[in-house]
Structure 1
Amino acid sequence: MLTPVEPGPSVVVCNTCRLSADAREDGQGRRGGALLAEAMRALQAKDPALQAVAVQEMACLFACQRHCTVHIRAPGKLGYVLGDFEPGEEAARAILDYALRHGESAEGQVPYRQWPEGVKGHFITRTPPEGFIHA
């Protein structure tokens, strides 16, 4: 079932993602994706500038060969799926910082020199917005 959300810059977090390549859950039975979403919200509570990006959760982004997967998107812009994060504040900050720059960009392309170090090497796919392709 699809659930409507407000349009705008967002990070969709797979809340059922594995904790790591080797573990499904932590010692308390929590999945990595749920922990990553929790870390993002905690960071947003401390840093209001990061609240410009919505953190949305969805069960299974179908990137099951990876762990802690997110989809960065904004209306009319290229989207990106990233994965293999450790669910904590460092990854949460890198993802949200990138998502802020993505939302501010004209078409969803952030110059490499502006990428936070924590997202480099985590990109899985790039997706065109509905009605467009990237030439």
Structure 2
Amino acid sequence: MLTPVEDGPAIVACNTCRHSGDAKEDAAGLRGGARLVAALREVQAGDPRYVGIAVQEMPCLFACSEFCTVHLRAPGKVGYVLGRFTPDADAATALLDYALAYAESEHGRVPFKEWPQGVKGHFITRTPPPGFVAQ
């Protein structure tokens, strides 16, 4: 049931997420999560700055009311679940830009002034790393 992946900074995207609050799929019959994964990989492939951020996917992050969700994580850092994205290149770029700042941060806290506009208002929850709680 679990698949091993690299243990570094990663955006784990739900590949079965709804397309929007109103629709499971887009006009072509694709789920929003699948579209977001594709957008993340396309943006990542086009910019060498993102090489250190893994784009991983899995079915269902159990945030179904918050369509197009991702979990941002890295060893020893607070993790975040974000959602309500439009599954496109703009959202993917904002997520990858935030992930860069997150990966460079000491404990996963990125100052608000450094957040890309595209992630503001999309945070759902934060999760402590194993063995820690956040202050």
TM-score tier by shorter-chain length is over 0.9
Aligned to 1:46: 46
- 1:22-37 superposed matches below 5 A: 22-37=22-37
Structure 2 residue identity aligned to 1:5: V
| TM-superposition CA deviations, 1:30-50 (whole Å, max 9, x none) | 100110010011111111111
Kindly indicate whether residue 122 of structure 2 is the aligned counterpart of residue 132 of structure 1. no
| TM-superposition CA deviations, 1:102-127 (whole Å, max 9, x none) | 11100000000000000000000000
Aligned to 1:18: 18
Task: Quote the offset at 1:58 in angstroms.
Answer: 0.6
> How many residues in Structure 1 have an aligned counterpart in Structure 2?
135
Task: Quote the offset at 1:131 in angstroms.
Answer: 0.3
Aligned to 2:76: 76
Question: For the residues of structure 1 that align with 2:114 and 2:96, how far apart are their CA atoms?
Answer: 13
Q: Following TM superposition, where does structure 1 have runs of at least 4 consecutive aligned residues deviating by more than 2 angstroms?
A: none
Question: For the residues of structure 1 that align with 2:130 and 2:110, how far apart are their CA atoms?
Answer: 19
Task: Quote the offset at 1:18 in angstroms.
Answer: 0.2
Question: For the residues of structure 2 that align with 1:25 and 1:33, how far apart are their CA atoms?
Answer: 9
Aligned to 2:120: 120
Percent of aligned pairs with the same residue? Answer: 64
Aligned to 2:97: 97
- What TM-score do the two structures reach when normalised by structure 1? 0.98
SS at match of 1:126: strand
Question: For the residues of structure 2 that align with 1:113 and 1:17, how far apart are their CA atoms?
Answer: 29
Task: Quote the offset at 1:28 in angstroms.
Answer: 1.8
Listed as ranges, the gaps of 5+ residues in structure 2 are none
SS at match of 1:36: helix
- What is the alpha-carbon root mean square deviation over aligned residues? 0.6
Listed as ranges, the gaps of 5+ residues in structure 1 are none
